Amino acid sequence: MAQLSEDRVAFGGELMSLERVQQRIAEVFECRAGIEQIEMCAAVGRILAQDILAPVDLPPFDNSAVDGYAVRHQDLDARQPTLLPVHAKTFAGHAPVGSLPPGMATRVFTGAMLPKGADTVQMQEDSEARGDSVLIRPGLARGANRRQAGEDIARGQCAVAAGRRLMPPHIGLLAALGLEQVGVRTALTVALFSTGDEIVEPPAPLLPGKIYDANRAMLAAWLTRLGVVVRDCGILPDDANLTRERLARAAESSDVVLTSGGVSMGEGDHVKDAIAAIGELTFWRVAIKPGRPVALGRVGGTPLLGVPGNPVAAQITLALVGWPLLDRLGGATFEAPVRLLARSDFAYRKKAGRREYVRVTVDAASVAKRYPKDGAGILTSLTETNALAELPEDLTQLAPGDPVRCITLAWLHG
């Protein structure tokens, strides 16, 4: 009964918190993506399907972190310099000639394999060559300048966990482990609509009351950056029957349906009602501003997300609600944004019970300056700023100098 009560809150007058929305997504939806093997060079941005266990130690052998001299630490005098004969020389990529005899040193170069017995390396800059010997300074710590086998990743250890979106450093790590291919999740297909009789596409002329469609281009670009295959389904007019028909058809041939606009309570808003009529509604209305009217449900088993029509609200809700949904469906582990702490240079009032996102520019001194235009349709408020100041539900007033948490727009933009 508690679950039913929470769901009714989402459909009624109260608003669902962002945390509850993200929890609900994890509870209701399952991964829809398959698995495919691809070449490592093509895996950037893809979602790892299975844990990768290191097949070898990394590094695979003890090696020198510097150019210098490898020694046995037990041969050194802790109080005065130690003169050791140089036994041999080892370059990177070559195996040492035998073990290091007691009381001797080996000349080594960065990355060179240490001979058996050597456990410490003195940097070349700190060494003094004396004929066929080298002077080792006192006080050199045991293990100095030595990279131990497996100190990065030990054989059998999980190198990269399933669900990780692979970035260039992950590719480098997997390549260093000797992998050529990797199993990743197949890309989701998203059917993308804009809604509204007022929307037209370039190069159509702007007749009275019409505006060009910014959302489909913006959201398609954002989805593409997440590795999603976008099916452009055009513009839905403000027609209830046509909305139900086209959404049902799109749901049959895609993994997700995404709409912008038509999710509020106006007479021309038909998306939310269409989901309820031909499918099931999971939640509606989130306690955030901008972006309160967000509808999520299923049509024919396919998830359908409706975000607001104002471009700023569409972008913010797609990142905060749509991204967790896409990660859940695509087999990824959603990573919440890192919040940075800044100082506000502006005053702000808000209602309690709702989280608000104010577009700001955070400077080098960590001062957050508010963008002078903050309507949910002001696209320049996203292009001319670098962060969102996140004002929590219990805050009602912000004063200049107050600390404020910020989310960088670099995260918001995918």
Q: Give pLDDT tens digits for 22-81.
A: 999 999 999 999 999 999 999 999 999 999 999 999 999 999 999 999 999 999 999 999
Question: What whole-number distance in Å separates Cα of residue 226 and Cα of residue 322?
Answer: 11
* pTM, rounded to two decimals: 0.89
Give the Cβ contact number of residue 140 at 10 Å: 19
257 & 356 share domain: no
Q: Is residue 271 one of the residues assigned to a domain? A: yes
Same domain, 41 and 178: yes
Contact, 38 vs 46, CB < 8 A?
yes
Please give the mean pLDDT across all residues of the chain.
94
Domain boundary among 330, 348, 374: 330
What pLDDT does 6 receive? Answer: 42
Do 236 and 250 sit in the same domain of this protein? Answer: yes
Residue 156 lies inside a defined structural domain of this protein: no
Residue 13 banded pLDDT, cuts 50, 70, 90: low
> Rounded to a whole number, what is the distance in angstroms from the first to the last CA of the chain?
37
> Could you tell me the residue range of the domain that residue 175 belongs to?
37-57+163-185
Mark which of 330, 353, 381 sits at the end of a domain: 330
Tens of pLDDT, residues 109-159: 999 999 999 999 999 999 999 999 999 999 999 999 999 999 999 999 999
Same domain for 290 and 308? Answer: yes
In terms of domains, do 212 and 192 share one? Answer: yes
Beta strands in 91-148 (DSSP E): 105-108, 120-123, 128-130, 133-136, 146-147
Q: Are residues 226 and 292 in the same domain?
A: yes
- The reply to whether 158 falls in a domain is no
Q: Residue 88: which CATH number? A: 2.170.190.11
CATH number, domain with residue 404: 2.40.340.10
pLDDT value of residue 200: 95
Quote the number of domains for the chain: 4
